[in-house]
Structure 1
């Protein structure tokens, strides 16, 4: 059995979509399960026991249709038995077009599209979270009598040497592992998902004063200036560490693996924290829904959105920023305090 799963999206979506790969591997333990991703996301899925191969699409291949189709052609020569096109765009559908021998070619139902699919799956209702929606794409197998092992808990593991290397670098940067280590997500790839920076600074101060902890401001190379400015505006508080530059998404994963609890803006790194399974509490922007992005009934990973604070008719009359500011640092602090009950270091110090 050979299975191909195609997902062209960013970090958070790729992590959530991996529940399909994991469920298929649990259903078919001897199957070869391959995952197609953009090249900046692909390294994150190396060394995962539910994947046999991670196939990356480079930026050059993304932009050049001839190189892209050549890549798709070469990949599909493996003759997969099942091809799942999660993205379901004209571009990603090329994988099912060229996989003529596949018994199952599954994609999302969209008007005037998906002619190469054997099964087109309607978009599930909003009662399901993202991970549950992705698993609905396995319905054709279930309908054919396959005992599919549906597993909505996504996970990622990192090598001991990766985690040990980051731990060493963290110590060199001044991290004291006797304290609670909190990676604080102060930034986001999308500006609209960045919690007002003055409120985030106030939240950082309150967390530092409340708990025996250190805060790590992680960042990619192009986010360094933002993080350093944040630290400077907090008078270079020595309890904040801003000298650990994660050069890759795997380095960020290894760093988070050495931390105790994740706090801050919702986004790809928060999903990464959940995949590693350190407790997390996230702040959702007015344009996002925690119902979509958080796993249901999982108390280790929770969040807050503006509508949790104000849900009456006056909410719609507020500006975007006014909605965001409904989430005060004190409200977040109280939620973080509750989440600390899941942190061993906090429990030991009580």
Structure 2
């Protein structure tokens, strides 16, 4: 038995879809389970004990039709028995169509149903704490007889990585006996980034309530934006911010995050990775993102806030319809709306 799961693009998506492998391994303990992903997302699923092989969707395949066709043909040669296409876009439609699989599963879309044997309609709401992103992915397993209610994404760090992360932080004079917070100061785009002055106030609150040490999570090309937020923080907060301490790679970031008390900030990859490491999280959602889909395993340790929680009257249509209005809506999402909730989280 050979099974391929396809999930391209973002880190959060790839990490979340990795839950399928744990369920598949329980059903098919001797099967070959492969994962087709974008190469840059590999670190979040590296060392996953349920995945046998990785196939990388390269930049060439993303930009070149001939390279995509070559990739599809290479997948065909592997003779998969089952293909589960979680990504469900044109590129993965093609790859699945070229496969020789006798069972092809994906989400229902009117234009791609002919490529699949099973087209699963996504649920639009759920009362489960696992979140819609998990619920809908688990539905993709129903056609092959796997009925499982909950699986949590997990990141697998080695003991050596954990030890190196600790040594790195101690070398940078961080006291691991004192509170240490990773702050997701920037989202993956401007329309997923909490306004800079508001984020600075959040950081000021964290320092005031905990006297904790603050790390900024950002990538090199975002340094100027991160510095802009740093400059908006008050003088006391600046003394607690260790601005230039960050991992040189994604695995290094994960090893550092493992030693943090919590990750706080813009909802996105860092929040999802922290949850997969069993680190507490406080996520601030963009006004146009559907919280119900991504507030995975919400509880006292994983808290989230969304403008809709406080001003539901602003929403007369689905959240994604407000993407172009995100900037204006963000201005209404002031820190005072949820500072009490943040303080309760910090006290825990």
TM-score normalised over the length of structure 1:
0.88
1:295 aligns with 2:301: no
1:334 aligns with 2:333: no
Contact (CA 8 Å) 2:191, 2:327: kept in 1 or not? no
Name the residue aligned to 1:91: 91
Cα distance in structure 2, aligned partners of 1:314 and 1:274? 28
1:242 aligns with 2:243: yes
Contact (CA 8 Å) 2:79, 2:99: kept in 1 or not? yes
Secondary structure, in 3 states, of the residue corresponding to 1:312? helix
The CA deviation at 1:238 is 2.4
Pick closer, same or farther for the CA change 1:313–1:89 going to 2, 3 Å. closer
Cα distance in structure 1, aligned partners of 2:61 and 2:314? 48
Name the residue aligned to 2:13: 13
Name the residue aligned to 1:35: 35
Cα distance in structure 1, aligned partners of 2:338 and 2:314? 23
- The correspondence of residues 187-266 of structure 1 with structure 2, limited to 5 A, is 187-234=186-233, 235=235, 237-266=238-267
The CA deviation at 1:309 is 1.4
Secondary structure, in 3 states, of the residue corresponding to 1:291? helix
Cα distance in structure 2, aligned partners of 1:278 and 1:85? 30
The CA deviation at 1:228 is 2.7
Cα distance in structure 1, aligned partners of 2:273 and 2:168? 20
The CA deviation at 1:75 is 3.1
The CA deviation at 1:325 is 4.0
Deviations along 1:44-100, one digit per CA (max 9) or x if unpaired, are 211011211222122122212222222232233222221111122221123322321
Secondary structure, in 3 states, of the residue corresponding to 2:287? coil
The CA deviation at 1:299 is 3.5
Name the residue aligned to 2:271: 270
1:58 aligns with 2:62: no
Pick closer, same or farther for the CA change 1:182–1:333 going to 2, 3 Å. farther
Contact (CA 8 Å) 1:42, 1:55: kept in 2 or not? no
The CA deviation at 1:39 is 1.3
Contact (CA 8 Å) 1:124, 1:136: kept in 2 or not? no
Secondary structure, in 3 states, of the residue corresponding to 1:156? coil
Name the residue aligned to 1:73: 73
Name the residue aligned to 2:173: 174
Name the residue aligned to 1:129: 132
1:139 aligns with 2:142: yes
TM-score normalised over the length of structure 2:
0.88
The CA deviation at 1:321 is 4.5
Segment drifting more, 199-208 vs 66-75: 66-75
Cα distance in structure 2, aligned partners of 1:51 and 1:251? 21
Contact (CA 8 Å) 1:315, 1:323: kept in 2 or not? no
Cα distance in structure 1, aligned partners of 2:265 and 2:314? 27
The CA deviation at 1:323 is 3.5
Which stretches in structure 2 are left out of the alignment for 5+ residues? none
Deviations along 1:159-210, one digit per CA (max 9) or x if unpaired, are 2222222322222333211111110111011111111111111111111011
Pick closer, same or farther for the CA change 1:84–1:314 going to 2, 3 Å. closer
Pick closer, same or farther for the CA change 1:95–1:314 going to 2, 3 Å. closer
Cα distance in structure 2, aligned partners of 1:232 and 1:314? 33
Contact (CA 8 Å) 2:261, 2:280: kept in 1 or not? yes
Contact (CA 8 Å) 1:290, 1:305: kept in 2 or not? yes
Name the residue aligned to 1:346: none
- How many residues are paired up? 336
Contact (CA 8 Å) 1:220, 1:248: kept in 2 or not? no
